[in-house]
Amino acid sequence: MKWAALALTGVVAAGCEPTVPVRGCAGCTYDFADTIPPDTSLVFHWPAARLPVRYYADSRAAMPALVATGIATWNAQFLYGEFRAVQVADSTAADVIVQWEAAPPPDVPPDTSTVDACAGSTTNPSVVFRDSSARVLHVTLGVKAGAFTDAQVAGCLRRVAIHELGHSLGLLKHSLSRFDIMNAVPTVSFPSVTDRRTVELLYHTPPTVLPPP
Amino acid sequence: MLARYWRLAGITGGLVCAAGDLPAQLLVRAALGARYTSTLVHDSIVTPFDVRPALAPALAVTAATPVGERWTAQATLDFSSSTLERHDVGGGTTGLGRVSTLAFTVGLRRPLAAGFAASLGVGGVKYFPANATGIFRQGSGAIAGLGAITVEYAPAAGARYGLGVQARYDAHRFITPALQSEGFDSPRLVHRVSLAVRAGWGGGAAR
């Protein structure tokens, strides 16, 4: 059996431990925690026991598609099952409700411009779940006043929907980089590596705010 | 994906049933057991954690033919399926979905003393995740080279049906395109150990 022992030794020797990726570098992530001066840090993310997070989308116009894109985009950022969201048809069974702020805009194909033609808002999980008995987060999307084309509005809504869903995941702060989807005025179409590293870090950081069980 | 499992089970079953009329020089063995797989990914985000499959049922079908006085050439198809799990340093475990592996090896087998036999094989292994998510979100990568060693024991009492037990060790290197995108610079050596009971049909099944 000398041949077998030699072969086994060769196989074992061939296996070098891969290097774990560097994640703690400066600028690789941005701040995700809310703060209350002087020293309270509010970290929120959905715990494993609450997954999948259930999103309900206003059924009018492009909202279901916008939310589906947002969910798929954020689901794809995680390597190790830290977060998973699904879309539900019943708003009473939802953890997050996404609605139009006013009348929905026409559902047209988006253009490729980065015009700031729309707006969004998300109720702050660190406030909702810490200071009230609410069990649901609310996200609203709307159109800004101005001379924008329907295609510009559609393109903007696609970016802002992903951005607002990012807030509902627990990314409570804005990135200072215009290359990140979590910049205050998102101009990119997808989360950047920095967005991904940040949300990854968030979901491995012990939360200080939890949703109701 | 489930349909794929059933298809594979059907093919396996067909092979075993067809073995009833095997030529004298062809032997077919089927082995069913359990497999432990070592860590596929070790990572650290705030705290370290490992990703590895749970203990899995394993099914192997081997076709063999003698090539000399004491040697047998054989080809083995090996399938196992279980849940991929993330094990956090604090003891928490998170399921990451089902993953299956299919390995094919060719090799040589030689009987040893007192009912024991040993075989050595080389081939490849492919991962089949149930969902294209997480570490498999960009696919499972190419077929990985695999080396396997099996030790068998067949008591004389079970010779008629080729009954026996076997322990198989194999090793391969694991990485996926998503892990490479994440910054992993090289594959990780993965060890697998399975214990199984087997039955054989055809010439020399008892040995």
Predicted interface score ipTM higher than 0.95: no
Residues spanned by the domain of A156: 2-202
Confidence of residue B205 (pLDDT cuts 50, 70, 90): very low
Mean pLDDT, residues A144-157 taken together: 95
Q: Evaluate whether A197 touches A25 at the Cβ level (below 8 Å).
A: no
Amino acid letter at A22?
V
Digit-coded pLDDT (tens) for A164-188 = 999 999 999 999 999 999 999 999 9
Chain A CB contacts of B169 below 8 Å: 8
Distance, in Å, from the CA atom of B189 to the CA atom of A11, rounded to the nearest integer, reads 9
DSSP annotation string for B80-147: EEEEEEEEETTS-EEEEEEEEEEEEEEEEEEE-STTEEEEEEEEEEEEEESSS-GGGBTB--SPEEEE
The domain segmentation of chain B, as residue ranges, is 2-202
A67 belongs to a structural domain? yes
Average pLDDT of chain B is: 87
Confidence of residue A25 (pLDDT cuts 50, 70, 90): confident
A7 belongs to a structural domain? yes
DSSP 8-state code for residue A21: P
At B23 the pLDDT is 58
A210 belongs to a structural domain? no
At B24 the pLDDT is 60
Between residues A2 and B165, the one the model is more confident about: B165
A97 belongs to a structural domain? yes
At B90 the pLDDT is 82
At B65, is the secondary structure helix, strand, or coil? strand
Q: Which residue of A has its CA nearest to B95?
A: A81
Report the CATH number at residue A116.
3.40.390.10
Confidence of residue B19 (pLDDT cuts 50, 70, 90): very low
Whether pLDDT at A13 is above 80: no
At B63 the pLDDT is 94
Distance, in Å, from the CA atom of B73 to the CA atom of B52, rounded to the nearest integer, reads 32
Question: Considering only CB atoms, which residues of chain A are within 8 Å of chain B?
Answer: 1, 3-4, 7-8, 11-12, 14-23, 48, 75-76, 78-82, 200-201, 204-205
At B114 the pLDDT is 87
Distance, in Å, from the CA atom of A95 to the CA atom of A135, rounded to the nearest integer, reads 7
Q: Evaluate whether B203 touches B24 at the Cβ level (below 8 Å).
A: yes
**Yes or no, beta carbons of A20 and B44 under 8 Å apart:** yes
Total domains present in chain A: 1
Mean pLDDT, residues A57-61 taken together: 97
At B97 the pLDDT is 93
Our measurement of the distance from residue B36's CA atom to the centroid of its chain's CA atoms, rounded to an integer in Å, reads: 10
Distance, in Å, from the CA atom of A79 to the CA atom of A63, rounded to the nearest integer, reads 27
Q: Which residue has the tokens 């040993």?
A: B118
- CA distances for A103 relative to A138, A145, A164, A178, angstroms: 17, 13, 19, 29
Q: Which residue of B has its CA nearest to A7?
A: B147
Digit-coded pLDDT (tens) for A88-132 = 999 999 999 999 999 999 999 999 999 999 999 999 998 888 877
For the domain spanning B2-202, the CATH number is 2.40.160.20
At B175 the pLDDT is 95
**Beta-ladder partners of B170:** B148, B192
Residue A63 has, within 13 A of its CA and on its CB side, a CA count of 25
At B35 the pLDDT is 97
At A131 the pLDDT is 74
**Yes or no, beta carbons of B182 and A15 under 8 Å apart:** no
Chain B CB contacts of A18 below 8 Å: 175, 184-188
Total-model pTM: 0.83
Instruction: Give the contacts of A179 (CB within 8 A, at least 6 positions apart).
Output: A188, A192, A194
Lowest mean pLDDT among A24-33, A91-100, B91-100, B118-127: A24-33
**Yes or no, beta carbons of B175 and A18 under 8 Å apart:** yes
A186 belongs to a structural domain? yes
Confidence of residue B3 (pLDDT cuts 50, 70, 90): low
Whether pLDDT at B14 is above 70: no
A165 belongs to a structural domain? yes
At B15 the pLDDT is 47
